[in-house]
């Protein structure tokens, strides 16, 4: 055996071992079957882009790829009790199998391979949503039950003409009782906005019952309860005003989704007008930075 041939064989042999020494896979819990599927991280990223953002220009797809990869790594312990890292539903990121990847989504994953959003030396669970409606939300105003990144609320004019940028929803007075009931306050007949966070979203909603008893719900709890009762197209965001009429409460709102992190409609509009992936990430994840995993060891 020549020395050159020996080295070549050694390299060929060692490559799979190097890969095996640093397995970058995610175990995905398939909610319907209960099966756990282990998939390479980069294939997973390419597969979640189509259900999460759909067709989009390259810069927006790549920004979404960086966010999805970060989320998948930071939220790896969410389904430990199921023997998985993430589930395949909206609770984590929508995964419909590796075959869901498209040529564009694979290109976006490979163009950003290894890039993640980090803050304080840790990969962040980068949040994203459909449409912010004019201003993103601080994650701390949206969730209080998980470790969340500290991202600034930023103003965004790029999504204002997107579907879902404005909405209205009517809650018949009789339905207020069911909504409050699902929040653990039976008998309520009235509701009012009771507080706003720094970005202007509704942070508190007060329910009242005839006789004077009242209870305050967090804005995101109010929205979650409404979505469970009436679906995603009801209270599309916590950025709304309420008008009271004799038969109903009329909510007029802006944006679709929780509002934290990247606004997907804004990212798509920005990519269309020529903004880069890095500019999009820098805007919506202000407070975090993009790093390459390898360089962090
Ligand atoms: Zn999950
Ligand atoms: Zn937006």
Q: How far does the centroid of ligand 1 lie from the alpha carbon of residue 86, in Å?
A: 5
Interior CA angle at 41 toward 39 and 43, to 5°? 70
Q: How far does the centroid of ligand 2 lie from the alpha carbon of residue 239, in Å?
A: 12
State the pTM of this model: 0.86
Q: Name the pairing type of β-strands 128-129 and 262-263.
A: parallel
Taking only the tens place, the pLDDT of each residue in 137-150 is 999 888 876 678 99
Q: Which two tokens stand for residue 170?
A: 């009517």
Average pLDDT score, the chain? 90
Measuring CA to CA, how many Å separate 193 from each of 21, 67, 209, 259? 54, 32, 15, 18
Q: How far does the centroid of ligand 2 lie from the alpha carbon of residue 165, in Å?
A: 8
Q: Which ligand is nearest to the CA of 128?
A: 2
pLDDT of 218 > 70? The answer is: yes
Distance CA 35, CA 45 (A): 19
Taking only the tens place, the pLDDT of each residue in 122-180 is 999 999 999 999 999 999 888 876 678 999 999 999 999 999 999 999 999 999 999 99
Domain regions of the chain by residue span: 22-127+262-296, 166-254
Other CB atoms within 10 Å distance of the CB of residue 41? 20
The DSSP bridge partners found for residue 135 are 155
Q: What is the structure's pLDDT at 10? A: 38
Taking only the tens place, the pLDDT of each residue in 191-214 is 999 999 988 999 999 999 999 999
| Greater pLDDT, 16 or 56 | 56
292 membership: H or E segment, kind and range: strand 289-292
Taking only the tens place, the pLDDT of each residue in 101-110 is 999 999 999 9
Q: How far does the centroid of ligand 1 lie from the alpha carbon of residue 134, in Å?
A: 28
Q: Which ligand is nearest to the CA of 94?
A: 1
Q: How far does the centroid of ligand 1 lie from the alpha carbon of residue 270, in Å?
A: 30
Q: What is the structure's pLDDT at 147? A: 74
Q: Which ligand is nearest to the CA of 93?
A: 1
Q: Which ligand is nearest to the CA of 71?
A: 1
């Amino acid at each position: 055996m020549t020395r050159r041939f020996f080295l070549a064989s050694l390299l060929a042999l060692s490559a799979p071992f190097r890969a095996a020494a640093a397995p970058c896979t995610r175990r995905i819990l398939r909610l319907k079957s209960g099966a756990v599927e282990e998939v390479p991280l980069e294939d997973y990223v390419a597969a979640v882009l189509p259900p999460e953002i759909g067709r989009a220009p390259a810069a927006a797809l790549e920004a979404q790829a960086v966010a999805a990869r970060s989320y998948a790594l930071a939220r790896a312990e969410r389904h430990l009790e199921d023997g998985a890292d993430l589930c395949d539903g909206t609770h984590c990121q929508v995964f419909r199998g590796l075959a869901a990847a498209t040529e564009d989504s694979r290109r976006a994953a490979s163009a950003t391979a290894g890039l993640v959003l980090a803050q304080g030396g840790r990969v962040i669970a980068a949040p994203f949503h459909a449409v912010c409606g004019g201003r993103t939300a601080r994650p701390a105003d949206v969730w209080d039950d998980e470790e969340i990144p500290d991202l600034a609320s930023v103003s965004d004019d790029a999504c204002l003409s997107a579907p879902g940028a404005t909405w209205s929803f009517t809650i018949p007075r009789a339905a207020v009782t069911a909504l409050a009931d699902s929040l653990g306050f039976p008998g309520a007949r009235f509701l009012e906005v009771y507080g706003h966070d720094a970005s202007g979203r509704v942070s508190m909603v007060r329910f009242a019952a005839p006789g004077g008893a009242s209870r305050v719900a967090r804005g995101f709890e109010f929205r979650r309860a409404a979505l469970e009762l009436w679906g995603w197209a009801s209270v599309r965001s916590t950025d709304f005003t309420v008008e009271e009429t004799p038969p109903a409460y009329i909510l007029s709102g802006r944006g679709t989704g929780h509002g934290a992190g990247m606004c997907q409609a804004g990212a798509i509009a920005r990519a269309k007008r020529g903004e880069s992936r890095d500019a999009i990430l820098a805007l919506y994840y202000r407070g975090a930075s993009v790093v390459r995993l390898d360089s962090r060891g």
